[in-house]
C-alpha cells in the first residue's frame, strides 16, 4: 500500500479535484494525505460567482504537523494550485519527500484558461513542472505551457513538436491528454524519453469537468502498483473514456462533473 500526498482544491459541490482523487486512490488501495489548496463552492467550469476560501497559508503547517508523527510518503500528486504561494509550498513538499512526483498542470481546457487563471499562474506552474517526474497536461495546458496555438487536428509531426517542447521544460515522462488527430479520433499521447506512443479513442463530442483528475488519479494508482508507465496510461485512458461515455448516455448535467459509478466497477475488476 502506497501513501500519497494529494494537493488539489476541494469543490464542495460537483465532481472534480479532491472529490475525484480521494475515492479513486482509496479504492485502488492507496492511503491519501489530503492537502486542499482552497475550498470552492463548486468546480469552476459552468458555474459563475464561485465562493473561494484560500488555504495557501495552511498547507505547510498541516503538512509539517502530519510529518511530525513520523510518516513518509511514496508520491506527491498536485493538481489545481491557484497561486504562486501554493506552488512554492508544493515545491518544498516535493523536495522534502524526495519521492515520485506527478504534476497535473491544471490551467484550462477547451482552448482557454480557467476562471481566475492568468499569466502569473502559468509562470508559477511552469516552474513546478520542472520538478516533476511525470506531467499530465491536457492539450490546452500543454499548448499554454509552450506558448503555442491549438490546432483542430494533429499529425504525428505536430505531436512530436509538442512532446519535444515539453521534454525541454519538464520531465522526460508525461502524457498529453485528448489530442485531436487528423483521422477524426482523440488520443492520449504518452512519452518516456524518446519513446512516444499514441493511445487513440473515440471522440464522444462531449467533455466533463474532472475527467483529467480521473485520468491522472487512475494513472498514479496503476503506476504506483504493479504496472509500468505505458500500460498505466493505456488502462487509465480506457477507464476514463468509459466514465465519459456513461455520463453522456445517462444525460448527466455537464457541470456536475464526471461520474465515478462505472469507474468503481472497473477498479474492482482490475483489483
**CATH for 3-270 (3.40.1190.20, 3.40.50.150, 2.60.40.420, 3.40.50.300):** 3.40.1190.20
Mean pLDDT over residues 206-231, rounded?
96
pLDDT tens track for 33-77: 999 999 999 998 889 888 999 999 999 999 999 999 999 999 999
DSSP 135-160: E--BHHHHHHHHT-PPPSSB-HHHHH
pLDDT, mean of residues 76-105: 95
Task: Spell 182-200 as b/e; 16+ CB within 10 A means b.
Answer: eeeebbbbbbbeeebebbe
Residue with cell 485531436: 180
pLDDT tens-digit series, residues 222-239? 999 989 999 999 999 999
Q: What percent of the chain has pLDDT over 70?
A: 100
In degrees to the nearest 10, what's the CA dihedral of 94, 257, 126, 217? 40
* pLDDT given for residue 231 in this prediction: 98
Amino acid at each position: 500500500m502506497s501513501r500519497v500526498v494529494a494537493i488539489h482544491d476541494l469543490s464542495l459541490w460537483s465532481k472534480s479535484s479532491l472529490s475525484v482523487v480521494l475515492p479513486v486512490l482509496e479504492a485502488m488501495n492507496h492511503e491519501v494525505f489530503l492537502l486542499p489548496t482552497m475550498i470552492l463552492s463548486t468546480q469552476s467550469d459552468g458555474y459563475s460567482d464561485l465562493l473561494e476560501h484560500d488555504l495557501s497559508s495552511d498547507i505547510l503547517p498541516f503538512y509539517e504537523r502530519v510529518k511530525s508523527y513520523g510518516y513518509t510518503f511514496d508520491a506527491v500528486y498536485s493538481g489545481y494550485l491557484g497561486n504562486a504561494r501554493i506552488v512554492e509550498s508544493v515545491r518544498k513538499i516535493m523536495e522534502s519527500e524526495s519521492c515520485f512526483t506527478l504534476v497535473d498542470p491544471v490551467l484550462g481546457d477547451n482552448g482557454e484558461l480557467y476562471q481566475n487563471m492568468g499569466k502569473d499562474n502559468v509562470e508559477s506552474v511552469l516552474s513546478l513542472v520542472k520538478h516533476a517526474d511525470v506531467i499530465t497536461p491536457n492539450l490546452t495546458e500543454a499548448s499554454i505551457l509552450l506558448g503555442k496555438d491549438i490546432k483542430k487536428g494533429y499529425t504525428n509531426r505536430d505531436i512530436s513538436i509538442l512532446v519535444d517542447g515539453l521534454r525541454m521544460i519538464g520531465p522526460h515522462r508525461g502524457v498529453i491528454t485528448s489530442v485531436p488527430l487528423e483521422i477524426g479520433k482523440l488520443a492520449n499521447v504518452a512519452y518516456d524519453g524518446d519513446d512516444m506512443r499514441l493511445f487513440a479513442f473515440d471522440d464522444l463530442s462531449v467533455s466533463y469537468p474532472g475527467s483529467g483528475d480521473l485520468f491522472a488519479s487512475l494513472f498514479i494508482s496503476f503506476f504506483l502498483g504493479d504496472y509500468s508507465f505505458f500500460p498505466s496510461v493505456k488502462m487509465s485512458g480506457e477507464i476514463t473514456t468509459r466514465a465519459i461515455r456513461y455520463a453522456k448516455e445517462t444525460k448527466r448535467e455537464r457541470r456536475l462533473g464526471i461520474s465515478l459509478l462505472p469507474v468503481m466497477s472497473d477498479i474492482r475488476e482490475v483489483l
